[in-house]
Amino acid sequence: MTRRANWLLLTTLTIIGAGLYVGCSQPDDLLSPISRTSLTLSAQMLPDCPESMNYELWVVDDGNYLSLGKFGYSFAANKFLDEVGIPRGTGAEFIMEGDLLDYDSICISVEAIPDDDELTPGSLMLVDAVTIPSDDLIELVFPYSDDSLWYATCRYNMQTMSDTARGANTGAGLWLASYQTRTRLLQDTVTFDSFVIDSSYIDITDPDTTIVVGFVSIGIVTDTIMFGLDWYEHTGLQYEIVTETHLRDPAGSTLVTEVLFYLDTLPSIAITFDAFTQDDFDLPDYSAFGWHYKIWAVAPTVLGQGFSVGQFTLPAWANREGGLDRILGYDGGMISAGTFTDVTTADDDSAHWAIFSNDYPPSDPALLPYVSYARVPSFPGDEFFNVPAQGGGTGMLDLLQDGGEGTVFISLEPDNFVTDTTNFPLIPFIRRFPQTPPSLDDVQQETMDNLTHTNDPYWGFPKVSVEVQRY
């Protein structure tokens, strides 16, 4: 073969080889579309499914959901189960037809058995956006658990208000708020004598100024003012202001006024009232995801007095025995103080009163539709005066009567949870009872421990990592 022929052959093979190299180095989906995706789940602190519930894996595209199958999970065995509780034949792997990158997000929901809607998810528990796996690992977490909920604050007090006896029966209440007594001076006006509008000129840079030029509807009226949870009668001056607006004059000054009142008043009296506050609680509202909060108390006295509604369910914490030790009184019985989605308002089962308080229900059942206000704070919580006992009848439950042996905690509950006899195993906040009731002179509050961050291997929330293979 001539040198020229050899050169032509080499050039041709080089071009063909380069073409093959370039073609092989292109993304697979440029050669042929991705027809199938494998998703392998790895769970961290994922709790077992409660009875009569399953998990379900979904992918989402512009609000349209595609189910990849229902499953259960065993935390103790670290195994993914099928719908009847047997280890899945494909283990933690889920197969979907098509390309995962055609979807916006991936999520795990909690589904009731039987499922009343197979086409849409129930309460969304763990979510994440779909990303290119090599660039950003997909990790499914509870919404806002690593930012908003992790930085939120939650406090509680155990004061009672419906008994109208300040400082009495502390321990028979449970409210998500700080409590303290406050004092304010209140002064009644007897008569109104006169007023004077005293005018002057000052330099001002604003383009115009509104000034007071008179009063109308002047008189002494008696009204009620609310301080804390109580109303007080107050007599004082009432009036409406008449104003004028003056444009800035060329000299750069404008008219302003000073108003002087001449009143006859009585000596000031000190009003002591009960103040419930929440400062920086800032708990996220999870209603859009199908979740609500629930307040629980566990203590031996709850079971001993016959008021327990069920048994405590521990979350999937790494050290289960240590987890139980942290829940003081977990085996002594539990009772709920209400459910809520908005921590700044009354809970769902007590619109303006506590369902167990002295003021509810009214002694005459015919008055029930007309009850609009009871002396309890407008925050989530309850008072345990008329609690139904297992043996019949009702009574007062004092959670502190055994020296504070017990725990208050808040759980996050799916709206489709089928039982009220235990908590769902997601607990964002927890605190033991105080050993002694605090003094009324102090701010009564217990700041709860936050247990939500997914990076905490012992007390955090669940996280599911997703390994993706597209082919």
Residue 162's pLDDT band (boundaries 50, 70, 90)? confident
Looking up tokens 């409406």 gives: 240
For residues 172 and 398, the answer to whether their CB atoms sit within 8 Å is yes
Is it the case that residue 330 has pLDDT exceeding 60? yes
How far apart are the C-alpha atoms of 230 and 164, rounded to whole Å? 10
For the chain, the residue count is: 471
Could you check whether the bond before residue 462 is cis, i.e. omega within 30 degrees of 0?
no
Amino acid 390: pLDDT = 81
Q: Are strands 155-156 and 446-447 parallel, antiparallel or unpaired?
A: antiparallel
What is the rounded CA–CA span in Å between residue 47 and residue 241? 63
pLDDT at position 359: 65
Residue 249 amino acid letter: D
Q: Among 460, 158, 421, 148, which Cα is nearest to 286's?
A: 148
Q: What is the pTM of this model?
A: 0.83
Residue 407 and residue 433 in contact, taking contact as beta carbons nearer than 8 Å = yes
Nearest of 443, 455, 377, 388 to residue 179 by alpha carbon: 443
pLDDT tier, 1 (very low <50, low <70, confident <90, very high otherwise) = very low
What is the phi-psi region of residue 322: left when phi exceeds 0, alpha when psi lies from -120 to 50, beta otherwise? alpha
For residue 3, pLDDT over 60 is answered with: no
pLDDT of 443 reads 75
Closest CA relative to residue 462, chosen from 128, 170, 204: 128
- Residue 102 burial (CB count, 10 A): 12
pLDDT digit string, tens, across residues 90-149: 999 999 999 999 999 999 999 999 988 889 999 999 999 999 878 889 999 999 998 899
CA distances from 256 to 70, 197, 249, 409 (A): 73, 10, 13, 57
